[in-house]
Every structure is written in C-alpha cells, then in structure tokens.
Structure 1
Amino acid sequence: MTRTSEADEAEFRSFAVDRWPRLLRTAFLLTGNHHDAEDLVQTVLAKSYVQWRRVAQASDRDAYVWRVMINAHRDRVRGLRVFEWLTTRFPERADRDRTEDILARDVLAGALQRLPVKQRAAVVLRYVEDRTETEVAALLGIRLGTVRSRSARGLEKLRADPAVGALRHAGSRR
C-alpha cells in the first residue's frame, strides 16, 4: 500500500463528508437497520480510502463507491445466519407527531427487506437513489434489460405486499 499525500487525504475527507448522508440513506435501505447501515458505510469508506488513488481516477467516483457498497452489502448478506426484525416502537418526541411517517417508512423498509437482494438493490438504486437504468446497470454490473426486469419484479412484489397495501389503503381514507 502506498502512502497517500496530504492533498489526497484532504480530497478523500471532503468526498466522504459530502457523500455521507446519501451513502447512509442508501445503506439503511439496503440493510434495514441504522447501525448496520453505519457499519456498511464505514466499511465502504475504509475500502475507498485504501484505494483512493484508483477511486479518484475513476470516471465516476460516485458510481465506483456505490459499487463498492453493493458488493460489501452482498458479502455481508451472504454471511448472515440470523435474521433481524425491525421494531415499530420508537421513542417519544416533543415535536409534531410523525408517527404515521415513521410507520410508513417502517412498513416500506420491511417490505424492501422482504425483496430478494438483487431486486432490492435495483429498486433502491433506481427509485430511491433516483439513478437512471443505465447507471444502475453499470453499478450492479448487469445488463439494462436485467435492471428493468428486476426493478419491475421488485415493484410488483412491493405492490403485492399486504403491509404496503394496507398502508396505501390507510392513506386513501384520509
């Protein structure tokens, strides 16, 4: 491993600080857990730091780092043997009641977790990260048609999910 210069280190630090919120949001949607999401982002940034010169030379740094995240998440999921369940209990807050927002987000996060890993990655990158089909194909290393079919199947499963259906039904009654 070669030593990084102060300029490289400053450039990496700026990149990491700037991308942290977006990386964390995507990681949360992939993992379904805030703590696992933070661990995933830290792993991604550590790997990116070690290979920073390669990342800095990439034509699209974001795509490179998101690809590292997808691969790290895939490796993490392969190693899991125990399933974790998200909780619907949240601490009370003094500000406006956001219970419905939190419950809706919880239902959606749970529904995303029930999707197969490949479909989940396609749906999260395509619709949450608002990436184009071409970008998603490049990030996942798959064909454009595969992105379309995985996204379509993922959305179909989300629409068919009873919890999401109940959420949509409750929203239409308001």
Structure 2
Amino acid sequence: MSVDADHEATEPDFGAWVASRGPALQRFAYLVTGNNSDAPDLVQDALTRALPRWESLAASGTAEAYVKRSIVNGSISGWRKRRRLVLVEDVEPMATRHEPGPEERDADEAWALVQTLPSNQRAAVVLRFYEDLSFAQIATVLDCAEATARSHVHRALAKLRERLNEGVDNE
C-alpha cells in the first residue's frame, strides 16, 4: 500500500497507521466486495481520500471508521456500475489437489450466501460478525442510525435463515 508521493502526510503517524491497519483493511475490503482484485483498489482509494484529512481524522479518532465507510461506499458504487453489465456464467474452476472437508464446504456455502445479500446488509454482517463491532460502531462506519445498523443485521440474518431453510427443504 503506497501513498501518493505528491502528498506529504500531515501527521507523521499516517504511514505507521497504514502499515499496522493495512492488512485488516484489505481483509475488510475483500469481505465487503467478495473480490480479491477490487479490494486493494478500494483500500488505496479510501486511503487517498483520508490523507488530506488525516490530521482531523487522527485527532478525532475516526480514521478507521472514515476509511471503512469509504471502502463500503466504493464497493456500492462499483456494484451499481457492474449490475448493468450482462455477466457470463463463471467457467467451472479446475479441480484442485485439495479436497475441502465438510467444515470448509459449509463455510464456503455460508460465505456464498452472504455474498448474495445487498451491499449494506453484507457490510453490516461483516462488521458485526467478522470485525466484532457493536451496533453503535457499525452505525458509525455505515454512517447511519444505530437502529438502522440493527435493522441491516436483522434483515440479513433473516434472509440467510430463509435461504438456508430453502436449501434444507430442497434436499
């Protein structure tokens, strides 16, 4: 993760903060987008937007929430652009040497279900269960009321429960 050379960090700790939080931000971006190739770009864009505001973000303690919200916004914008495209079905991946066990298959299936959720619900689920944030913290990151954050998580879990029940009924 690099910072544009034309910008000097207004706080000397910006680089240190990026170095320490960068891997977690990459994971967060991947979990929000479900796409390894978009995640680094989203993180870089979010950090580029944070740099000019770094002094006030660092002083107020809102740097992480600001960067995560930028990642979520970027993901939603990208999703809106891509949904207009007609997608060709993915080519079935080549067989790998590793045969996943039942737990890994269950985790993959659960993650595939999470990926079908609307962006804000998916982000809320990731923040709640992967990042282990409180509803107040989720509301800060998603820039919404705490009740809305609760609603996103509740609706997402209801959809996941419904889809899981559909899968059980079909077996």
**Is the CA contact (8 Å cut-off) linking 1:32 and 1:86 kept in structure 2?**
no
**What does residue 29 of structure 1 align with?**
31
* TM-score normalised by the chain length of structure 2: 0.76
Percent of aligned pairs with the same amino acid: 32
Cα distance change on mapping 1:70 and 1:162 into 2, 3 Å: same
**Is the CA contact (8 Å cut-off) linking 2:50 and 2:67 kept in structure 1?**
yes
Gaps of 5+ in 2: 1-5
Cα distance change on mapping 1:50 and 1:106 into 2, 3 Å: farther
CA distance in 1, matches of 2:7, 2:106: 46
Deviates more, 1:80-89 or 1:19-28: 80-89
**What does residue 141 of structure 1 align with?**
143
CA distance in 2, matches of 1:42, 1:109: 25
* TM-score normalised by the chain length of structure 1: 0.75
**What does residue 110 of structure 2 align with?**
108
**What does residue 4 of structure 1 align with?**
8
Deviations 1:22-60 (A, max 9, x none): 111111111111111122112222222243223223333
**Is the CA contact (8 Å cut-off) linking 1:67 and 1:139 kept in structure 2?**
yes
Q: Of Structure 1 and Structure 2, which has the larger fraction of its residues in helix? A: 1
**What does residue 78 of structure 1 align with?**
80
**What does residue 18 of structure 2 align with?**
16
CA distance in 1, matches of 2:25, 2:89: 22
Deviates more, 1:80-89 or 1:132-141: 80-89
Gaps of 5+ in 1: 170-174
Per the alignment, in what secondary structure is the counterpart of residue 28 of structure 1?
helix
**Is the CA contact (8 Å cut-off) linking 2:50 and 2:63 kept in structure 1?**
no
Deviates more, 1:83-92 or 1:29-38: 83-92
Deviations 1:88-128 (A, max 9, x none): 747746xxx57235544432332122111121121111111
Per the alignment, in what secondary structure is the counterpart of residue 51 of structure 1?
helix
CA distance in 2, matches of 1:79, 1:157: 24
Cα distance change on mapping 1:98 and 1:155 into 2, 3 Å: farther
Number of matched pairs: 161
Per the alignment, in what secondary structure is the counterpart of residue 55 of structure 2?
helix
